[in-house]
Structure 1
């Protein structure tokens, strides 16, 4: 009697196997999968110029563009394409790697055209962003050019980036008088440059950018006199000192933040320094007497 259950199971298996070989029901062909709908092709994520983002690192998972009239932190101003040997790599280039420099150069040029001037003359940052590893392996070869607003403190002092929320597109933001332009500064309690109005007492005024050929940030300060000499040339030009005339004047400078340097920014920010006494006017175009210090 104990063997009876095994006989029943065997009989049931035989019945299933036999029924599997039987003729298919009317109106069917016996194929289980040939009438299934094909799955849709995987959609590649591609960013779009004109998108604004409420998060600092929009990816496939959190890509939720917002209306640029609403608060955001990044504005995508251009989408480029990796080509050549770089596009043949099995993984995307790292965000801050040297091979991203050509992409950053393209973003740099696009940003200048977008804002109406050298973006480094304002409280602005630019970054070139590659796809994620899954996106790259899925065929994505784009890079995204993002523009963002920095705090007045971090942009003038080379301190760690502090990205500010912005409402409204940054297109043409440096044309004409702009609240984002670097202008006049004084020292705060921690001896950092603090933005002030040029009609208010101040000792420093931004005069322009010198792009250093040095590749390591730490090496720029190895010869500070050479940097000051470059900045003096910019002070003369800014104040419209006649060519060939030399004036004893004060200068200071600030490097890009470490994050900005890693992205590809090599612009040294140069400032006129009054030498001590505060002034309450801009020295732009004011001639040699305005920038002369004792």
Structure 2
């Protein structure tokens, strides 16, 4: 009996191998599957908050967080990178073009000139692996920063529309700490309280080397004195040096290589304290001493 069952199974298996396929099948199981699509290159979200600032980003190292939680950077724009073998290197035309696009988009995002606030623009590129896989984007991030551009502050809440309303990030009046001619701290205070420094505006530095910018104290002094004269409604002449002092903050080296040329200028007094803004103050408030 066991032999009969075995024989029947053998016949049935043989029939399965030699029979004609039904329902129009051709019997070839390898030619009816559509090819798998090529994996898509990673592309980040155009708007998201991040716990840290990155130079490059991929799907594995992104750490987006809710903007209501503490974060360091906020992505606000996604641009299209040039098609090249490698991402643009720091200081190249492609990298500068990306920074310029991010800078312009930041004005719209925050609702005002971000350079007059404690904000910085940061460009994020795909990783080398992502680039070789076809990623051609750059991401624009905003971060809350110190005046020197090096200290990044964690914050909660989006920066969208930040400068359309009163904001503590706007540059105003400050209580500076100066040690041997070097400003070690600029503590923001309301202009109605005692202060010795006030943001006067931006000076556009010439396109020189970064070392030349840092060494060109006389040039920065002349540039900022002109900014202060316009701000305080003063004659922009040789007597400006006797009306007030000045403090300037240059871009960081990375910002300079990216094409940033703004210098932040502040009117400054070593000993005199004020309890008002010097906007349009005129010669009677700032006489030649």
Q: TM-score, normalised by structure 2?
A: 0.79
Gaps of 5+ in 1: 1-22
Deviation digits for residues 126-159 of structure 1, max 9, x if unmatched? 0222211121111111111111111xxxx32x26
Pairwise CA RMSD? 2.8
Residue 77 of structure 1, CA deviation: 1.2
Give the alignment partner of residue 143 of structure 2, picking from 145, 148, 155. 148
Do structure 1's residue 193 and structure 2's residue 185 form an aligned pair?
Answer: yes
Do structure 1's residue 181 and structure 2's residue 170 form an aligned pair?
Answer: yes
Residue 171 of structure 1, CA deviation: 1.4
Equivalents in 2 of 1:193, 1:260: separation in Å?
21
Residue 252 of structure 1, CA deviation: 2.2
Residue 66 of structure 1, CA deviation: 2.2
Residue 179 of structure 1, CA deviation: 0.3
Structure 1 residues 212-251: aligned runs within 5 Å: 212-241=205-234, 247=240, 248-249=242-243, 250-251=245-246
Mean Cα deviation higher: 61-70 or 243-252: 243-252
Which residue is equivalent to 1:47?
A: 44
Q: TM-score, normalised by structure 1?
A: 0.78
Gaps of 5+ in 2: 1-15
Contact 1:256 1:267 in 2 (8 A): yes
Report SS of the residue matched to 1:44. Answer: coil
Which residue is equivalent to 1:168?
A: 157
Structure 1 residues 1-294: aligned runs within 5 Å: 24=17, 33-34=30-31, 38-57=35-54, 58-82=57-81, 86-87=82-83, 89-94=84-89, 97=92, 99-150=94-145, 155-156=146-147, 158=148, 161-188=150-177, 190=179, 191-197=183-189, 198-241=191-234, 247=240, 248-249=242-243, 250-292=245-287, 294=289
Which residue is equivalent to 1:15?
A: none
Judging by fraction of residues, say which structure has more strand: 2
Q: How many residues align?
A: 263
Report SS of the residue matched to 1:288. Answer: coil
